[in-house]
Structure 1
Amino acid sequence: MSRVPESFYFYKAQLQRAKEEKERLKKDYEAKIDNLNNEISFLKEQIQAQHTMIEQSVDYVMKLEQQINSFNFELSNE
C-alpha cells in the first residue's frame, strides 16, 4: 500500500477551511439580504401609509372646497 503524500493533508485542510469560509460568507450574505428585505418592506409600509394620508388629505380638501362653493352659492342667492 502506498503512503499518502503530506501535501494531500495540507490541501485537504485548506479545502476544508475554504468550504467553511464559503459557508460563513453565504450565511453573512443571506443575513444581509434578509435585513435589506426587511428594510424594504418597512419602507414600502411607510410609503403606503404616506400615500393613504395624501389621498385622505386630498379628499378632505375637495370636500372643503365643495362646502365653500356651496356656502358661496347660498350667500349669492340670498
Structure 2
Amino acid sequence: MNRIPESYYFYKDQLRKAKEEKAKLKKEYELKVNGLNDEIAFLKEQIRSQHTMIEQSVEYVLKLEQQIKSFDLELSIDKKEGA
C-alpha cells in the first residue's frame, strides 16, 4: 500500500492557512473599501450642500446689488425732481 509522504500533510496545512489568511485579508480589504466609499459619499453630500449654499449666497448678493442700484436710481431721480 502506498503511503502519503509526511511533507504532503505539511504543505496541505500550509495551503489551508494561506487560504484562511487570504480570506481574512480579503474581508479586511472589503471593509476598508466600504468605509472609504461611505466617507466619499458623505464628503460628496457635504460638497453638494456647500455648493447649494454658495449658489444661494450669490443669488442673494445679486439681489442686494439690484436693490442698491434701484435705490440709487430712485435717489438720483428724487434729486433731479427736487432741484
Q: TM-score, normalised by structure 2?
A: 0.92
Give per-residue Cα distances to partners, 1:36-73, cap 9 Å, x unaligned.
00000000000010000000000000000000000000
Residue-pair matches, total = 78
3-state SS in 2 of match to 1:2: coil
Q: Which runs of 4+ in 1 moved over 2 A?
A: none
Please provide the CA RMSD for this pair: 0.5
2:52 counterpart of 1:52: yes
Map 1:19-34 onto structure 2 (within 5 A): 19-34=19-34
Following the alignment from structure 2 to structure 1, what is the Cα–Cα distance between the partners of residues 51 and 57?
10
Partner of 1:16: 16
Following the alignment from structure 1 to structure 2, what is the Cα–Cα distance between the partners of residues 2 and 76?
112
Partner of 1:73: 73
Which stretches in structure 2 are left out of the alignment for 5+ residues?
Answer: 79-83
CA drift at 1:23 = 0.4
Partner of 2:63: 63
Following the alignment from structure 1 to structure 2, what is the Cα–Cα distance between the partners of residues 35 and 76?
61
Q: Sequence identity of aligned pairs in percent?
A: 69
What amino acid maps onto 1:7 in structure 2? Answer: S
What amino acid maps onto 1:43 in structure 2? Answer: L
